[in-house]
């Protein structure tokens, strides 16, 4: 039995690197420090895995040899006019580098999950820049934390305890105790209300939206958290201020904040469903802080306005820097989606949606991005790696993806592997293979190898290298 | 039958996050992504109780899901569906030139579906994506 | 005279019948170029690439049988960077700014930069351990920690940027002089520079401390530059350099505001001419659209406020900061034109070419592909005149260039573009073609006996733009300005052996969790991370 410490968790962008695993007979039997998702991954990853390469013959997926699967995959890519190579966010930087070489060799389009996630954030950065930092700066210095259109409780469970409210920094203390006592108050109020409803057989309204437990001045020295969301999520329950915003109205609210911090007066009662007095109070809090940060999520990238929402959020951050220190950071979803953008950029100059069909990298989201290519039915083959487009792309895009030859490289059985024509099983990155990945704040950390993979499951790097050399062979013989 | 116009949000939940690590074929995953969270008041308007089936329709398509009472209320006329193959059926693929499809803030209509069945993963893939290939 | 190469090294002689012969008669043979300060890898560089797709659209390189595709212009992608430097005959590059926490990133990018040997300098001037140890006067403990971080991040030299200012920028402020106190740390920039200078000496590092001064880019800052050089004067020994002021042009402004801004190059040159403990590099400005990127967060914020261009800021916990702002240097801007003049004045007024090197602080002053143009400005008064006649009137009136007649010889160019840089870096096997040196050779198609560089500067520029041959490690990699073979270079780093064991004790391990958000065991690069490491073993005095 061995205990492995300092394991990095290959799930979400929080990329915790303090996981401890207990390994016995090549099986992970216990996990410490991980959140529910991390624990689920480390203890259950092998439950639904692909162990053998598969090829579709007569409509059915049948087992085959690795050589045949690699050969078929290479032929599909080499023969295609405009193949798309998609995914990449759940594998290592080393694998991504080989993937870019492969995409360049076949003259295809290589795209990653940013295209349906924080792509708009990247577009905004390209327009206005971004004022950011590594997460330690927040932990040490931030006394005002915004979660805008982001719900770390569900998507980045340890974010708050590792980097923001519930952690100790050099210049700031944790607010854990304050939260516990407040939570106690909230829970007992809820219990009382439920009891009252049962007794009186009618609804007693919940506490009003504007919650103020103690006068603002009492929190002067402590960290404060503000949540802006369309629903009162669990994260919002822990917040000092919760602004319940109407859907698709983030742009207006952000612009209003930009006006309020410049001391402009507004002649309205509400903006986006939030009373103006509350907004004025929050604007004052923003100006009075020592260091504030906006963490924003997909609520900004996916709703109306898309990259213009983030453009405004970054501009608000920039404006605030005239008066105090303010930073902004997107909450990246997958553990290496930042790494994917980083590697793409250093090799091609562009972070996603890179088109190699003319022999050099071209970039034009809306034209060279995968959803658009699929919507227009322009691609004639596809490779999916470390991702599940069949589960997560809109239906029409998926229909155009599966009607052409599709290769899937994945350790697990997923809707994509079920619909693919060639399935090549790979080893689990960060558990069975080592590599490098980048946290949401651009800090690169090592992925560890903790157990041995099955012999039939090679690493993504090896599989891609084999396909690449086979493609080159095919090209040489055809020339 | 009563119908309700809502704004649809898709997103992550901790159960969906755990479920996908158990595996996309697992029961836990299926249970975490075939549900639609509604404000209790909206459930009353639809005359639907928790755990009964509803049909969610958008411009892009429709899908039958299980209704769940939201613990995050009040959020009237806002429905929340976790990411997954079921949500993908009704998402809007138009990117408006940005590359990003609209996955939040979509207009949708909800109605009770007492006779409807929530499909299994393979039934869903068969219905929407089955392609005859050699 | 003939040059013999075998197994990647210059040798005494070889069997000519079995050798490949290159006839370089009528051409100039120099050691491969060495660039002491070019931002080519790491977080700031890469975010700059991401920030500027418009910079890439206009400058693309298609894939060939030998080369990978890529894009330019001011921040080329990694493959393109390596190829373009190699086409100009450069073979060794130094990436000057590496946030230690993000060392993996810098090294991954360097490994994807082909054709050249490389190294990188970790940013240590605002590292909390440095600030605390120097504040408490613990020079030897500081040295032991610096040795540890050099090894952990595979660094080559101590880089200091706006010492104290980056820590102040953590809360949005800055330091204004060498004797300002850094908030929360009770130490001054002067103490940081002096302390690290002593540490550098104790560790016997091959290069000196590499300093980007406080008050960079502010009118009147030439005073800070001279004070910075003065503050370690007494620590120098045997007339050997103990400080390198980088991109000195940006620190050589006279005047009290932008209206009165003028050149302080003369004063700085005077100081450097009389002192032997300093080396500088130019940081020459080119009139073009480029991208500024430095670890000097507050300076970059100031540049954003001046220009209104898009702005990236990236603070790194416990260590440093950074910023990126696209910028255009215009002939008709009095300030930019004065900056252009300052860089050249520094090079021409400093008498000893071993003390000042040709750089643009790529890409801050301009892309490295403009080096051949700068060479012509150094070699030809006529070339300088042509440009001076197009710049802003006030800058032209005040520029000393109109009265400077000095013109560099090819020999002096060789010093400022390779030999001097290698010497100050302590890379003894680079920058020279003696027996035992690395076989990195650049052959330029210009005959110094027939061509007068003062008059025929266009020919000179063309020759330096496309090397007739570039030889890397004994292999011909470039012929007539085209890549004929790709090679990967080595990554140099200093493996310092202290007499105290390098294992950091439990105290540091415990402090790790307090100071950083990563685990102690995940911070250093693991063995085998670099594919082509070239550690330089050094024994320290501690």
Q: ipTM of the predicted structure? A: 0.96
pLDDT at C343 over 70: yes
pLDDT of residue A206: 58
Name the residue with tokens 């299994």. Answer: B120
Which helix (H) or strand (E) is C395 found in, with range?
helix C393-398
Exposure of A458 in the CB half-sphere (CA atoms within 13 A):
18
Q: Which of A9, A155, A302 to substitute to test the interface with B, most B CBs within 10 Å?
A: A302
**Closest-CA distance of chain A to residue B47, Å:** 18
Q: What six digits make up the tokens of B20?
A: 């996908």
pLDDT of residue A448: 95
Treating both helix axes as pointing N-terminal to C-terminal, what angle do C265-274 and C334-349 enclose, rounded to 10 degrees? 20
Query: Using CB atoms and an 8 Å cut-off, which of residues 2-31 of chain A contact chain C?
Result: 5-6, 8, 17-18
Give start and end residues of each alpha helix (H) in C417-530: 420-425, 457-465, 506-515
Q: Is B40 on the interface with A (CB under 8 A)?
A: no
- In the 8-state DSSP scheme, what is residue C293? E
C-alpha–C-alpha distance, residues A379 and A393, integer Å: 15
C-alpha–C-alpha distance, residues A49 and B23, integer Å: 8
Do the chains contact at A392 and B88, CB–CB below 8 Å? yes
Q: Which CATH class is domain B4-128?
A: mainly beta
Name the residue of chain C whose CA is nearest to A348's CA.
C70
Q: Which of A129, A143, A291, A363 to substitute to test the interface with C, most C CBs within 10 Å?
A: A129
**Which residue among A171, A324, A345 sits closest to C172, beta carbon to beta carbon?**
A324
C-alpha–C-alpha distance, residues A89 and A104, integer Å: 19
Query: Which chain A residues have a beta carbon less than 8 Å from that of C69?
Result: 104, 348, 356, 359-361
Q: What six digits make up the tokens of C308?
A: 């209104």
**Which residue among C53, C313, C317 sits closest to A131, beta carbon to beta carbon?**
C313
Which helix (H) or strand (E) is B68 found in, with range?
strand B61-69
Q: How confident is the model at residue C506 (pLDDT cuts 50, 70, 90)?
A: low
Q: Which of C55, C317, C521 to substitute to test the interface with A, most A CBs within 10 Å?
A: C317
Residue by residue, DSSP assigns B14-63 as: HHHHHHHHH-TTSHHHHHHHSEEEE-HHHHHHHT--TT-EEEEEETTEEE
pLDDT of residue A194: 84
pLDDT of residue A177: 82
Exposure of B14 in the CB half-sphere (CA atoms within 13 A):
15
pLDDT of residue A182: 77
Average confidence (pLDDT) over C100-109: 97
Q: Is B76 on the interface with A (CB under 8 A)?
A: no
Query: A275: buried, middle or exposed (CB in 10 Å: 19+, 13-18, 0-12)?
Result: middle
**Closest-CA distance of chain A to residue C226, Å:** 31
**Positive or negative: CA dihedral C79, C80, C86, C90:** negative
Q: Are C438 and C431 in contact (CB under 8 A)?
A: no
- In the 8-state DSSP scheme, what is residue C418? I
Query: Using CB atoms and an 8 Å cut-off, which of residues 86-105 of chain B contact chain A?
Result: 88-105
pLDDT of residue A287: 95
**Closest-CA distance of chain C to residue A169, Å:** 7
Do the chains contact at C62 and A327, CB–CB below 8 Å? no
Do the chains contact at A350 and C53, CB–CB below 8 Å? yes
pLDDT at C437 over 60: yes
Q: Provide the strand spans (E) within C276-322.
A: 278-281, 289-294, 311-315
- Residue C52: CB atoms within 10 A of its CB come to 23
pLDDT < 50 regions, chain B: 134
Name the residue of chain A whose CA is nearest to B91's CA.
A394
Do the chains contact at B12 and A151, CB–CB below 8 Å? yes
Distance of CA A231 to the CA centre of its chain: 20
Give start and end residues of each alpha helix (H) in C218-307: 222-230, 265-274, 297-307
Q: Which of A401, A358, A356, A394 is nearest to A379 (CA)?
A: A401
Q: Is A231 on the interface with C (CB under 8 A)?
A: no
Between strands C4-6 and B61-69, the pairing is: unpaired
pLDDT of residue A221: 59
Q: What six digits make up the tokens of A53?
A: 């390469």
What three-state secondary structure class fits C92? strand
Q: Is 3.20.20.140 the CATH classification of the domain at C4-494? A: yes
Against chain C, the chains showing at least 3 CB pairs within 8 Å are A
**Closest-CA distance of chain A to residue C361, Å:** 19
**Beta pairing partners, C243:** C209, C278
**Closest-CA distance of chain C to residue A360, Å:** 4
What is the Cα gyration radius of chain B? 15
Treating both helix axes as pointing N-terminal to C-terminal, what angle do C103-111 and C43-51 enclose, rounded to 10 degrees? 70
Q: Is A touching B (3+ C-beta pairs, cut-off 8 A)?
A: yes
C-alpha pair distances (Å), B61 with each of B11, B58, B87, B108, C395: 18, 5, 10, 10, 67
pLDDT at C191 over 90: yes
- Residue A213: CB atoms within 10 A of its CB come to 12
pLDDT of residue C507: 64
Query: Using CB atoms and an 8 Å cut-off, which of residues 88-107 of chain A contact chain C?
Result: 93, 97, 101, 104
**Which residue among A132, A141, A347 sits closest to C77, beta carbon to beta carbon?**
A347
List the pLDDT tens digit at each of the 479 positions of chain A.
999 999 999 999 999 999 999 999 999 999 999 999 999 999 999 888 999 999 999 989 999 999 999 999 999 999 999 999 999 999 999 999 999 999 999 999 999 999 999 999 999 999 999 999 999 999 999 999 999 999 999 899 999 999 999 898 999 888 888 888 877 887 888 888 888 888 887 766 655 444 443 333 333 458 999 999 998 999 998 899 999 999 999 999 999 999 999 999 899 999 999 999 999 999 999 999 999 999 999 989 888 888 999 999 999 999 999 999 999 999 999 999 999 999 999 999 999 999 999 999 999 999 999 999 999 999 999 999 999 999 999 999 999 999 999 999 999 999 999 999 999 999 999 999 999 999 999 999 999 999 999 999 999 999 999 999 999 999 998 87
Q: What six digits make up the tokens of B78?
A: 């806002």
Residue-wise pLDDT tens digits, B48-75: 999 999 999 999 999 999 999 998 888 9
C-alpha–C-alpha distance, residues C164 and C180, integer Å: 9
pLDDT of residue A205: 62
Against chain A, the chains showing at least 3 CB pairs within 8 Å are B, C
pLDDT of residue A427: 96
Residue-wise pLDDT tens digits, A173-225: 888 888 888 778 878 888 888 888 888 877 666 554 444 433 333 334 589 99
C-alpha–C-alpha distance, residues B60 and C37, integer Å: 55
Which helix (H) or strand (E) is A22 found in, with range?
strand A19-24
pLDDT of residue A215: 36
Exposure of C176 in the CB half-sphere (CA atoms within 13 A):
2
C306: phi then psi, degrees, rounded to nearest 5: -70, -45
A286: phi then psi, degrees, rounded to nearest 5: -60, -45
**Positive or negative: CA dihedral A254, A259, A261, A266:** negative
Query: Using CB atoms and an 8 Å cut-off, which of residues 275-314 of chain A contact chain C?
Result: 290-291
C-alpha–C-alpha distance, residues C455 and A124, integer Å: 49
Residue-wise pLDDT tens digits, C365-375: 999 999 999 99
Q: Which of C324, C398, C327 is nearest to C365 (CA)?
A: C327
Q: Is A472 on the interface with C (CB under 8 A)?
A: no
pLDDT of residue A204: 62
Between strands C159-161 and B104-112, the pairing is: unpaired
Ranges of each domain in chain C: 4-494
Q: Which of A9, A19, A344, A349 to substitute to test the interface with C, most C CBs within 10 Å?
A: A349
Q: Is C79 on the interface with A (CB under 8 A)?
A: yes
**Which residue among A154, A233, A353 sits closest to B99, beta carbon to beta carbon?**
A353
C-alpha pair distances (Å), C164 with each of A437, C319, C515: 31, 11, 17
C-alpha pair distances (Å), A381 with each of A55, A77, A106, A358, A393: 15, 7, 11, 17, 16
pLDDT of residue A207: 52
C-alpha–C-alpha distance, residues B83 and B77, integer Å: 19
Name the residue of chain C whose CA is nearest to A323's CA.
C172
Q: What six digits make up the tokens of C497?
A: 């052996």
**Closest-CA distance of chain C to residue A467, Å:** 18
Domains and CATH numbers, chain A: 49-117+335-431+449-478 (3.40.50.740), 120-330 (3.40.228.10)
Do the chains contact at C70 and A361, CB–CB below 8 Å? yes
**Which residue among A8, A126, A348 sits closest to C77, beta carbon to beta carbon?**
A348
C-alpha–C-alpha distance, residues A103 and A105, integer Å: 5
pLDDT of residue A213: 39
C-alpha pair distances (Å), A102 with each of A78, A83, A355, A384, C516: 10, 11, 12, 13, 37
Query: C511: buried, middle or exposed (CB in 10 Å: 19+, 13-18, 0-12)?
Result: middle
Average confidence (pLDDT) over C446-462: 95
């Amino acid at each position: 039995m061995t205990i492995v410490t300092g394991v990095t968790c290959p799930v979400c962008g929080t990329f915790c690197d303090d996981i401890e695993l207990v390994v016995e007979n090549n099986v992970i039997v216990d996990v410490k420090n991980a959140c529910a998702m991390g624990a689920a991954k480390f203890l259950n990853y092998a439950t639904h895995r692909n162990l053998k390469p598969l090829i579709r013959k007569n409509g059915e997926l049948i087992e085959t040899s690795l050589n045949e699967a690699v050969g078929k995959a290479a032929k599909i890519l080499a023969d295609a006019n405009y193949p798309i190579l998609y995914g990449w966010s759940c594998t290592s930087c080393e694998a991504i580098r080989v993937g870019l070489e492969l995409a360049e060799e076949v003259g295809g389009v290589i795209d990653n999950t940013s295209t349906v996630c924080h792509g708009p954030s990247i577009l905004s950065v390209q327009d206005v820049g971004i004022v950011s930092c590594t997460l330690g700066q927040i932990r040490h210095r931030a006394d005002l934390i915004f979660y805008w259109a982001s719900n770390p409780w569900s998507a980045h469970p340890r974010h708050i305890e590792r980097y923001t409210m519930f952690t100790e920094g050099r210049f700031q203390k944790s607010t854990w105790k304050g939260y516990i006592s407040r939570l106690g108050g909230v829970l007992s109020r809820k219990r009382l209300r439920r009891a009252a409803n049962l007794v009186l057989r009618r609804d007693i309204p919940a506490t009003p939206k504007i919650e103020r437990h103690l006068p603002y001045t009492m929190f002067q020295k402590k960290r404060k958290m503000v949540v802006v969301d369309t629903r009162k999520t669990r994260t919002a329950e822990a917040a000092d201020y919760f602004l319940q915003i109407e859907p698709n109205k983030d742009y207006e609210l952000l612009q209003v904040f930009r006006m309020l911090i410049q001391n402009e007066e507004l002649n309205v009662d509400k903006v986006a469903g939030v009373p103006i007095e509350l907004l004025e109070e929050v604007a004052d809090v923003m100006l009075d802080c020592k260091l504030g940060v906006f963490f924003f999520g997909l609520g900004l990238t996916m709703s109306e306005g898309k990259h213009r929402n983030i453009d405004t959020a970054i501009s608000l951050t920039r404006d605030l820097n005239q008066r105090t220190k303010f930073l902004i950071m997107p909450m990246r979803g997958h553990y290496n989606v930042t790494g994917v953008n980083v590697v793409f950029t250093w090799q091609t100059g562009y972070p996603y949606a890179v088109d190699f069909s003319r022999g050099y990298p071209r970039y034009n989201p809306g034209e060279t991005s995968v959803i658009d290519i699929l919507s227009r039915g322009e691609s004639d083959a596809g490779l999916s790696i470390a991702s599940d487009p069949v589960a997560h792309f809109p239906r029409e895009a998926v229909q155009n993806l599966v009607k052409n030859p599709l290769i899937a490289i994945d350790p697990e059985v997923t809707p994509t592997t079920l619909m693919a024509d060639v399935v090549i099983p790979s080893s689990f990155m960060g558990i069975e293979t080592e590599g490098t990945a980048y946290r949401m704040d651009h800090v690169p950390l090592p992925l560890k190898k903790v157990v041995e993979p099955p012999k039939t499951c090679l690493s993504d790097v090896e599989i891609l290298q084999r396909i690449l050399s086979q493609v080159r062979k095919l090209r040489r013989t055809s020339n | 039958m009563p119908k309700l116009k809502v704004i649809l949000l898709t997103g992550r939940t901790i159960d969906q996050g755990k479920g996908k690590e158990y595996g996309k074929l697992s029961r836990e995953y299926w249970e975490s992504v075939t549900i639609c969270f509604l404000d209790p008041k909206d459930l009353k308007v639809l005359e639907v109780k928790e755990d009964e089936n509803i049909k969610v329709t958008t411009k892009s398509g429709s899908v039958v899901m299980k209704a769940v009472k939201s613990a995050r209320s009040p959020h009237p006329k806002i429905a929340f569906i976790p990411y997954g193959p079921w949500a993908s059926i009704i998402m809007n693929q138009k990117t408006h030139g940005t590359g990003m499809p609209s996955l939040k803030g979509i207009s949708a209509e909800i109605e009770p579906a007492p006779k409807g069945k929530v499909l299994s993963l393979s039934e869903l893939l068969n219905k929407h994506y089955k392609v005859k290939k050699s | 005279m003939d040059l013999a190469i075998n197994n990647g090294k210059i040798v005494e002689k070889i069997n000519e019948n079995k050798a490949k012969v290159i006839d370089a008669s009528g051409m100039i043979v120099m050691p491969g170029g060495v660039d002491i300060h070019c931002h080519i890898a790491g977080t700031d560089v890469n975010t700059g690439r991401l920030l500027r797709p418009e910079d890439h659209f206009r400058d693309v390189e298609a894939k060939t049988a030998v080369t990978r595709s890529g894009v330019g212009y001011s921040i080329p992608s990694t493959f393109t960077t390596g190829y373009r430097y190699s086409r100009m005959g450069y073979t060794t590059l130094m990436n000057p700014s590496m946030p230690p926490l993000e060392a993996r990133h810098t090294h991954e990018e360097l490994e994807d930069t082909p054709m050249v040997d490389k190294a990188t300098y970790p940013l240590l001037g605002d590292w909390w351990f440095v600030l605390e140890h120097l504040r408490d006067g613990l020079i030897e403990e500081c040295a032991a920690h610096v040795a540890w971080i050099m090894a952990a991040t595979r660094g080559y030299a101590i880089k200091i940027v706006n010492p104290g200012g980056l820590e102040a920028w953590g809360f949005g402020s800055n330091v204004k002089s060498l004797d300002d106190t850094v908030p929360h740390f009770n130490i001054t920039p002067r103490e940081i520079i002096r302390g690290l200078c002593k540490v550098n000496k104790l560790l016997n590092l091959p290069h000196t401390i590499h300093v980007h001064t406080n008050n960079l880019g502010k009118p009147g800052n030439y005073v800070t530059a001279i004070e910075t050089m003065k503050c370690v004067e007494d620590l120098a020994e045997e007339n050997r350099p103990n400080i390198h002021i980088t991109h000195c042009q940006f620190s050589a402004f006279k005047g009290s505001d932008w209206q009165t801004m003028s050149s302080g190059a003369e004063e700085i040159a005077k100081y450097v001419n009389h002192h032997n403990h300093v080396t500088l590099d130019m940081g020459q400005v080119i009139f073009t659209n480029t991208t500024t990127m430095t670890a000097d967060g507050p300076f970059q914020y100031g540049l954003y406020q001046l220009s209104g261009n898009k702005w990236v800021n990236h603070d790194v916990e416990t260590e440093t900061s950074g910023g990126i702002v696209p910028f255009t240097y215009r002939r008709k801007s009095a300030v930019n034109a004065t900056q252009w003049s300052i860089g050249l004045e520094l090079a021409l007024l400093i008498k000893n070419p071993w003390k000042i090197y040709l750089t643009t602080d790529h890409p801050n002053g301009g892309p490295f592909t403009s080096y051949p143009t700068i060479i012509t400005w150094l070699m030809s008064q006529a070339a300088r005149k042509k440009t001076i006649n197009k710049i802003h009137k006030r800058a032209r009136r005040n520029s000393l260039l109109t009265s400077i007649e000095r013109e560099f010889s090819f020999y002096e160019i060789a010093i400022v573009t390779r030999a001097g840089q290698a010497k100050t870096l302590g890379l003894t096997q680079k920058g020279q073609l003696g027996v035992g040196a690395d076989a990195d050779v650049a052959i330029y198609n210009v005959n110094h006996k027939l061509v007068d560089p003062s008059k025929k500067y266009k020919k000179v520029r063309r020759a330096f733009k496309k090397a007739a041959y570039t030889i890397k490690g004994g292999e011909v990699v470039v012929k007539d300005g085209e890549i004929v073979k790709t090679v990967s270079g080595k990554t140099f780093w200093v493996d310092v052996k202290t007499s105290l064991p390098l294992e950091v004790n439990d105290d540091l391990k415990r402090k790790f969790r307090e100071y950083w958000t990563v685990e102690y065991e995940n911070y250093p690069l693991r063995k085998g991370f670099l594919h082509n490491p070239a550690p330089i073993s050094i024994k320290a005095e501690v």
